[in-house]
Amino acid sequence: MIGAIALLALMAGCATTQTASIQDKRDMLVASGFKTVTPKNAAQQQKLQTLKTGQVAQVQKNGKTYYVVADPSQNVVYVGGPQQYQNYQQLRAQKKLADENLEAAEMYNDAAMNWGAWGGWGVGWGRWGY
């Protein structure tokens, strides 16, 4: 019973994280200048279904390069050019750095909060002249 509850809690946590991650990607695409395009006919709708969800696909059309990200759950495709894709890559790198900094700060705070469990190394330092 406890194992089942723990598994359900873990699955809910993963689903929440995945949902947040998808929303983060949508937000970054829009912030990078990607345009949201809704399929207008059956052929476009079928094409949307063939694209891999959430993956950036490079497409050549009329001698121009476009970057396309499918989001079938929202029934849209995000479309941008090389500049928008570069902006998106920069935002991803910034987010990764921010996430790493947050993780490091959380680890530091956890360690600081648990300092007392180490016996507070400062206790007794006076014996050594410090």
State mean pLDDT over 18-43. Answer: 88
Residues 6 or more apart whose CB falls under 8 angstroms from that of 65 comprise 58, 59, 81, 82
Q: What is the pLDDT of residue 28?
A: 93
Work out the percent of the chain whose per-residue pLDDT is above 70: 67
Note the pLDDT tens digit of each residue in 70-92: 999 899 999 999 999 999 999 99
Q: What is the pLDDT of residue 101?
A: 77
φ, ψ for residue 55, nearest 5 deg: -95, 140
**Within a domain: residue 117?**
no
- List the domain range (segments joined by +) for residue 28: 20-109
**Within a domain: residue 12?**
no
**Within a domain: residue 126?**
no
**Within a domain: residue 118?**
no
**Within a domain: residue 1?**
no
Q: How far apart are CA 91 and CA 50, in angstroms?
A: 27
Residue 100: pLDDT band (50, 70, 90) is confident
DSSP states of 30-50 as a string? HHTTPEEE---SHHHHHHHHH
**Within a domain: residue 28?**
yes
Type of residue numbered 1: M
**Within a domain: residue 67?**
yes
**Within a domain: residue 43?**
yes
Number of domains in the chain: 1
